Amino acid sequence: MICLSGVKIIDPANHIDGDIGDLWIEGDRIVAAPPAQDGAEMIDARGWIAAPGGIEIHSHIAGAQMAMARKFAVREDRMDAGLLLPPAQIAQAYLKMGYTTVFDAAMSPMLSRLTQDDLKAMRGLDCGAYTLVSEQICVVDAIKKQDDQALKSALAWLLTRSGGYALKLVNPGVGLAWWMGKLLSSLDDALDGDRLTQRRIILAIAQAAKELSLPHPIHLHAGNLGRPGSWQSFCETVLALEGLPAHLCHIQFYCYGKDDRGRSCSAAEQVVETIAMRDNLTFDVGQIVFGPAMALTCDLQLVEWLHRVGSGKWTCRLLEGEGGMGLLPLEYKIKDPSSAVQWATGLELLLRFPDPTRLFLSTDYPNGGPFIAYPRIISWLMDGEARQKMLAQVHPSAKLRTSLADIDRQYTLTEVVQMTSAGPARALGLQDRGHLGAGALADIRCYQPQSDIENMFANPILVIKRGQVVLRDGQLKLPSSGNHLSVEPDWDKDREVIFKEQLQTNTTIDPRYLGWLERGFHENREVIPCR
């Protein structure tokens, strides 16, 4: 048994905002204070701040895309420090910041074994992954036929066989359009003669996810990412959900208007007006940070557009029956006007949005830059003076084409914990973490208060993962492994034969690739119940 004695507790999920008390840990859980306290390891935490472990809701950390990016970066001599880390170092970097649960943002079902291998190597972290589904043959076929039962079974089959946690949609239909040489520019562009549209795909899968009672709703990458004026199509997508629950990712990349010269400007205010009152939705920001980055996405149309408006090499890999993936090196430069506008727009979005339990911190790693920049981003949110100082260093377009300079709001410590822990836990349906109440998983981060906010969040004084001290005074001691979080929704297993036949008929892929669980792929699998 461990006791953190005399600690300042920040636990917004339980409405605790700075109370001084003791936190008791037995095994891997937080417990009420025991009547007999003999033999407990007492840690003098007076003067420290304790908060639930950080939860990463959106980061590209594993699988075929990351492997392709590392090979590309080596070949092009772009192995920038801190960007494309190997799996073990990713886990260590997250733990050193106090993050204890991390989700990979896009897992190919057919290549899921690569993702699971990477997640298994991330010792000490609990990990999960979102299964890409919006271009899958069996999914598209069920939507075309308006067969709701087949659709739910297809989605549950893909989740179960890939070991996924949630359903990921990336600019739905873009893979189909790419194969046909079409440009997908709106929700209602016809994708084929069967009147299949992006709107139909999103609504059908969102409704199916709700009926499957998944802990996390659809995780949606919308269309027209990054383009001037994209805020309008993004808001149309929000309205198209018709009240269904969803998580929309890296939304900073959609908060762009267009000035009278056709240049991007911030439309964060307009986006916030549209999304703030829609409690069915959650979001992550996709904040960019200055320095090297890598566009890593299944939105093939986006990668091609970035290549055309920029320069340099890019690569694309098509996957039969499920779309494709592409990548392109990026660099956000402090004196570049476009980079400056993107940086300021993300912060403006975070500062304008009223509810940090619904808009979460992310960099869409590695698309917006390294996740190890979180402490720096938090310092800009909590310290208006630091934010203004940085604003003075970037290209003047950040002031001229955004409203960041006019915003006085500063995040509180409680709001940071809501944004990085309590909110993501609730959005992911993880009831045993994101808070410090009795029965919660003993995932805890502790800080020594200091005036240097970035340094404080970059260097927790103590991190506990599942009841084990994994970091103390800067020294990392990894546990043997973490858990793989996945779901097992109910589905009609008699349909599996049909789904496999569809793959065999329409692709050259061996359906046996979908079956890692049958081979006992991950020994620490934890099934999160459907609601």
The domains of the chain, with CATH numbers, are: 2-51+449-476 (2.30.40.10), 52-447 (3.20.20.140)
Lookup result for tokens 């557009």: 305
138-151 residues labelled b (16+ CB within 10 A) or e (exposed): bbbbbbbeeeeebb
Instruction: Kindly list the averaged pLDDT for each block of 10 residues, start to end, along the chain of length 531.
Output: 96 97 96 87 96 98 91 71 86 96 94 91 95 92 94 95 95 84 86 85 98 98 94 97 97 96 96 96 98 90 84 75 83 96 98 98 96 98 97 97 97 98 98 97 97 97 95 86 92 88 77 55 83 81
pLDDT in tens, 319-369: 766 778 889 889 999 999 999 999 999 999 999 999 999 999 999 999 999
Contact at 8 Å (CB) between 409 and 355? no
Measured between alpha carbons, how far is residue 385 from residues 55, 112, 368, 388, 443 in Å? 28, 45, 24, 5, 32
Per-residue model confidence (pLDDT) at position 517: 45
Q: Are 87 and 61 in contact (CB under 8 A)?
A: yes
Write the pLDDT tens digit of every residue in 264-309: 999 999 999 999 999 999 999 999 999 999 999 988 888 888 888 8
